[in-house]
Amino acid sequence: MTTRILLDSRKFRVEAVEVPDREGRTRTREVVRHPGAVVILPLLPDGRVLLIRNRRFAVNATLYELPAGTREPGEADDVGALRELEEETGYQAATLSPLVRFFASPGFCDEEMIGFVASDLTPSAQRLDATEHIEIEPVDVATFREMLRDGRIVDGKTLACGLYWLSFVANDMKGAP
């Protein structure tokens, strides 16, 4: 396959990639190359899920989300998760457990997202980028489930990690709701 860089930005690169079709002809497809991201489902000591309300300029809306962010070059997944958790929520986690891995939009982007559950949280300080507008929003598990069900949560990574956690992990946790 031959590729040509169309855009090289701070967070991702867009390439034109030559791919064969079923008849053996060459077609050009645009692919977003992304270093990957982490998603964190933080659990407060009282069992509440720590969501954020994040102003997303691309969709002109403030969304309920789990904290997340792009991995830095050479950064281990767990290190990135702990960094993003503290930057976006102002909490540090003593325990970080793997949750799920998935591709965000594999039709045009190679971004792999790695989900974690963070627990044993202690307050520290939020460290937001200049353009981030984030507020924390702790919710009990029943409210989190309802937000996933009723459409208040429309962010894909939050849907994926939240539903996976509720379906396969939450009931197995000691003292889980």
Instruction: Indicate whether 21 and 60 sit together in one domain.
Output: no
User: Please, which residues bridge with residue 7 across strands?
Assistant: 14
Do 88 and 121 fall into the same domain?
yes
Do 25 and 41 lie in one domain? The reply is no
**CATH number of the domain that residue 69 is part of:** 3.90.79.10
Output the six-digit token pair for 85. Answer: 């958790």
Domain span holding position 146: 35-172
pTM to 2 decimal places? 0.93
Domain count, the chain: 2
Same domain, 7 and 85: no
What's the whole-number average pLDDT of the chain? 95
pLDDT tens, 42-60? 999 999 999 999 999 999 9
- 58 in the same domain as 25: no
- Per-residue pLDDT averaged across 78-88, rounded? 98
Query: Hey, what long-range contacts does 166-170 have (CB within 8 A, 24 or more apart)?
Result: 166/141, 169/99, 169/117, 170/141
Rg of the chain's alpha carbons, rounded to an integer?
A: 18
The reported pLDDT for the residue numbered 1 is 73
Structure confidence by residue, pLDDT tens digits, 140-175? 999 999 999 999 999 999 999 999 999 999 877 654
> Do both 71 and 134 map to the same domain?
yes
Same domain, 12 and 70: no
Query: Mean per-residue pLDDT for 100-106?
Result: 97
Whole-angstrom Cα distance, residue 168 to residue 15?
37
CA-nearest of 90, 95, 94, 114 to 104 is 114
Top-confidence residue, 174 or 30: 30
